[in-house]
Structure 1
Amino acid sequence: MAGSLQSSGDAGGIPDARTQISGFVFALLLIDPDLVIVEANHAAEDLLGRSAKRLIGQQVRDILQFADDRIAQRMSHEDAQLVARGLPVSIGEKTRLINLTVSPLPSHPGWRVCTLSDAGQDDMSRSDEASASLAAPAILAHEIKNPLAAIRGAGQLIARKLDEGDKRLTNMIADEVDRIARLIDRMQELGSSKQEPLAPVNLHQSIRSAMATVRAAAKDRAELVEEFDPSLPDVSANKDALEQVLINLLSNAVDACEGAESPEVMVRTRFVSGLAANVMRLGRSVRLPIEVTIYDNGPGLDPDLGDHIFEPFVTSKKNGQGLGLALVKKLVADMGGRISYRRDEARGLTLFRIHLARAD
C-alpha cells in the first residue's frame, strides 16, 4: 500500500479516489498504528518540504515536532480524534503555525488520516468583525468538510485491497462521513440569517403531512393521535419550515415515549384568543393566537436540561447531536412564532407548545 498518492485513474473518466486526494490543497498523511507515514499527497510534499519517498516510512514525530506536548500524547492514543488550529510546529529547521486534524479509521484499528494546512492561509482582516462573524459557519464547514472528503477517499483506497465481505467496514466509513456532512449542513442552517418568505398555510394539512412522514419511519413504535379544532384559520408561516419543525418534534416525541407501556403522541390545535402570546415584529405587537401542542407520555427530559433544551449541542439522547431543537426554535422564530417546553408530572406528559400568528 505504501507510496505517494499519485493518480491511477483514467484521465478521460471520473477521477478515482487517488486522483481526488492527490488534488487536495491541504496536506494528507495516512498513518499506520506505529505512527509511521504510509501515504502522502502532493500538498504534503509541499508543506513538509520533502518528497513522498522521503516521507514514507518515517515516524510522524520525526517529521512534526509539536511545541505542545499534549498533541503528541493525544496522537499516541490510536482511537483519539483531534482537531486543532494555529498550532506551532517545527518542520525541519522552520517553525510555523498549522491547522491539524487526526481521524481514526474504525475499520482499521490504529490507522489514522492526518490533514495539515498552513494556518496563515486563514488570516482574516479584523477590521470587519461583523463580516467575520457571519462567515464563521461557512469557514467552519469548509474546515471540517475538507478532511471528511479526505477520510472518505482514504476509505475508498483501502476498500480496493479488501475482500467483498470486509467492504462493509469501508462502507460504514463512507456512511458516517456522509452523516457528519449532513450534520454540518444543519449547523450551517442554524447559523444562517436568511429567512424564508411567509404565506398563509393550512395548519392541519401541514400537521397531517408531518404525521404521515413520522408514521412511516416510526413503524408502530407509538400511536399518533390528533385533536384538531377544525375552525382554525390559516397561519402565517413558511410551509416547508413548519413541516420540518413538526417532523422534528413528532420524531423526538416518538423516541421519548418508546419505553412507555402504551406509547402515545398527541397533536392538539386550538385558538387561544384570550391567552394569546404576543411578539414584537417590525416595531409593533403581533398576537399569536394559534396554538399547536405536541404531547408524549414518555418519562420526560432530565430536569437539569429543562432550561437549556433549545440551546445547540444540548441533548439527552445517547447518540443525539443536540441541534434538532435549536433548529426548531430558529425556524419558529423566523416565522414570527414562539415555542416553549413544559413537563406535566401530574399527568405524566411532556409538552412542546408552538404559538403562531393567523394569516392576514
Structure 2
Amino acid sequence: MKKVKLILPVLVATCLLQSCGNNQPKEDIAAKPEVTTGNLADAITPLKPVIITDTVEFDTDDPAIWLHPTDKAQSLIIGTDKETGGGIYAFDLNGKIVKKLTGLQRPNNIDIAYGLSLNSKPTDIAVFTERKANKIRIVSLPDLAFIDNGGIEIFKGEKGEGFNEGMGIALYTSPDKKIYAIVGRKNGPADGYLWQYELDGKAGTVTANVVRKFGKYSAKKEIEAIAVDNENGFVYYSDEQSGIRKYYADPAKGNEELAFFGTTGFTDDHEGISIYKTGDSTGYILVSNQQDNSFMVYPREGSGNIHQHNLITKIQMSTIESDGSDVTNISLNNQFPNGLFVAMSNGKVFHYYDWRDLEKRILKK
C-alpha cells in the first residue's frame, strides 16, 4: 500500500543485473524491436508515459484493461479510487473519464474477465474488493452496472483484525471457462491467506462459493497485488516486504508453493504485478518496486526452470509509489501498436505507457 506523502523520484545510478492477464482473451504475439546496446542513462532516467489520465477524487490504486470485442480503439481502463466515498472509473485510451461509480466503501483492487454466463448470456465483468464493506463487487462491462445483488461477503467467519477486509483480487478463467476470484486481505493467517471463489451468474445475478483457502504469508505487511496467468495456469502475489509467491491457479492442482522470488533488490514494498505475453508461455512478469518508483522484470517462462524467476532488469518509471498495474500486448491504436502498460501513480492518476518503450529498456539490459 502506498504512502500518502507525495515524493519525487530520486535519480540514482543502478547496476542492472541479469541472472546466470489480466485476464483477457488469448493475446497476439507482439513484434519485438531491434536489440541495441543500452547505456547508463536508460538506468537512471525515468520512462515517460504517453498519457496521464484525468484525476479521480481521492486516491487511485489499481487499474485493469478491458478489451473491446470488435474495436480495440474503444477499449477502456477501469481503475479504482481508494477511499470511503470513492469508486471505480472508466477511462478511454486518451485518459478521459467516460463513466464512474462512486459512493463506495473504499474500493481497492480490480480485475476483469470475459464471457461469464449471466442468465445464459456471455458477459464481460469487472470484480473489485470493497474493503470496508467486507465484500467483493461485480459489474458488467462496458456499462459498469452492478450485477451482484448488493455484493458478496468475503472471508466469512474470520475474526482477526483486518482478516475480512478484502484488498487484492485477481480473476482466473479455467480451460473449462469457469471464472474464479482469488482474493487477498489486509491481514490473515500464516497459511490459507488467500480465498478462492467460483463465480456463478446462471440465476441472473452473480453469486460465489469458496473452493479453497491457500497461500503463505510472511506477516511483514500485507498482500494486495495478485495476478493470474490464465494460459499457464499460475497465480502470483506480492507478499509485501518479503517477495513474490507463485501457486497453481486451478484449485484441483493443490496448494503447493511453486516459487518464491524477488526477495532482494526492493527498496521497501513489493506491489502491483502484471504479465506481458510474447507467446503461449513466454513474456515478462512486471512487479512494482514501490518506493523506488521502478518496476522489476522477471521472465514469465522462468530462468531455465519454469518455477525459477531470476531478475532480468529494473525499469525506472515516472509513476510515483505505484500500487497497481496492468498490461496487454494487443494492438489498440496508433499510440499503442504493441500494447499498453498502465500503472497507478500518486497524484490521483494513472499513467499509460507505450509497451515498445518498456521493451526497449528490457532488451537493452
Same fold (TM over 0.5): no
TM-score normalised over the length of structure 2: 0.23
Q: Which has the higher helix share?
A: 1
Computing the radius of gyration from Cα coordinates, the structure with the larger value is: 1
Instruction: Report the structure, 1 or 2, having the larger strand content.
Output: 2
TM-score, length basis structure 1: 0.23
- Larger RCO, structure (CA 8 Å, separation 6 or more): 2
